Amino acid sequence: MAVTMHQISVPVFERLLKALSGCLDKAAAHAEAHKIEPEVLTTYRLFPDMFPFWRQVHQANLHARRGSALPAGMDFPKIDGADTAMPQLQAMTAATLDFLGKIDPAAMDASREVTIVAGGNERTFPTALDYLLTHAMPNFYFHTTTAYDILRHNGVELGKRDFIG
């Protein structure tokens, strides 16, 4: 049996975004229980030159949307840069999950050329499979992991199961 582009991407994005949503719930509960302003968590960064938590969540959602849509030849919903509060991060993640549910597995073409603009630079991948495996998935994992790490570093009680779903 051949493995499809959809099988190696969309279910992975969905599982980890659902787990990230659960981490957001725990972070909001942690902030409330410890009388911490949620912005302390959402603006926290592990190192000065790294993105803050809210941007890690943005990037995870972006890579899931773009990583599913482009191999399917679809446009993807853009992410508003002003979504920095917990409720908006939850809504963004829910919208991404809704979008992922609309991806037609048959439309995902591993041989499709993919061009993206990242950091102001255009980059073309010879195939959607190359794009997915060398760019979209590694970036998705990096940003979901970093978001999790920021919350753990700030005392939110999370474990491995919270990360992997």
pLDDT digits 0-9 by tens, 97-139: 999 999 999 999 999 999 999 889 999 999 999 999 999 999 9
Q: How many domains does the chain have?
A: 1
Phi, psi of 120 (to 5 degrees): 80, 0
Kindly report whether the global pTM for this prediction surpasses the value 0.75. Answer: yes
CATH code of 113's domain:
1.20.120.450
Residue ranges of the alpha helices (H) in the chain?
5-33, 38-42, 53-69, 86-100, 128-131, 137-153, 160-164
In a domain, 6, yes or no: no
For residue 67, being part of any structural domain is answered with: yes
3-state secondary structure of 117: strand
